[in-house]
Amino acid sequence: MIRLFRRDLALATRAGGGFGLGLAFFLIVVTLVPFGVGSDTGQLAAIAPGILWLGALLSCLLSLDRLFQLDFEDGSLDLLATAPIPLEGVVAVKAAAHWVTTGLPLTLAAPVLGVLLNLSGPGAVWLVISLALGTPALSMIGAFGAALTVGLKRGGLLLSLLVLPLYIPTLIFGAEAVTRGQQGLSATTPLALMAAVTLGALALLPFAAAAALRVNLR
């Protein structure tokens, strides 16, 4: 499983893996927002938590379709399915690798982009904490969506339609935590709830995703 993790990391970071594309996309989204809503700093600060969370969510979505697709096409997914490690474990490892290559960089880059949107200091702290707690759920839910659509020719658009509604609880709690943190209120309640969603997703979704993969590999 560690080997699989390393292999996925290597594939993602080397040429053509699309590593960094998610980050660039995140940057572009954040850059475009002031053009759309105006450069008033107060207004930007007010919407910054939501925009940063939305941007992170969309960049996470961007790299999902290649999570299983390439392995499915060249047949290595079949090999992984017949390998001695359980398919649930494969899914979890792949989701973890996805998180390390997208969620983690997004979390680290978010406070820098927060500066562009005039996010306050405490807001930035809470943003990092909430993203760190929430993005694993995004990767795991995304892995489930990718497992559902892996056999499809044009699964990309369908993938977003399936996955984005599942992101709603995480987004609500995440953005709420940052907003509260920015206003100096206690952010622990939404954070705890979001962590619960993340843990639940990590515990249960590998089974659902593996079931979907088995159906698609039949």
Question: Using CB under 8 A, which of 33, 96, 133, 148 touches other proteins?
Answer: 148
Interface with other proteins includes 149 (CB under 8 A)?
Answer: yes
The rounded distance, in Å, linking the Cα atoms of 16 and 10 is 11
- Nearest to 59, CA basis, from 86, 19, 91, 11: 19
Interface region with other proteins, contact rule CB under 8 A, candidates 23-31, 41-49, 63-71, 159-167: 159-167
**120 is written with which tokens?**
């306050």
Stretch that binds other proteins, among 33-41, 54-62, 95-103, 166-174 (CB under 8 A): 166-174
Residue whose CB is less far from other proteins, 105 or 206: 206
Closest CA to 209 of 100, 58, 98: 98
Residue selected from 99, 124, 176, 180 as contacting other proteins according to rule CB under 8 A: 176
**Residue 202 sits in the site that holds other proteins (CB under 8 A):** no
Which CB atom, from 4 or from 178, has the smaller least distance to other proteins?
A: 178
Contact 87, 210 (CB under 8 A): yes
Residues interacting with other proteins, by CB under 8 A?
144, 148-149, 151-152, 155, 158, 161-162, 164-166, 168-169, 172-173, 176, 190, 193, 197, 204-205, 208, 211-212, 215-216, 218
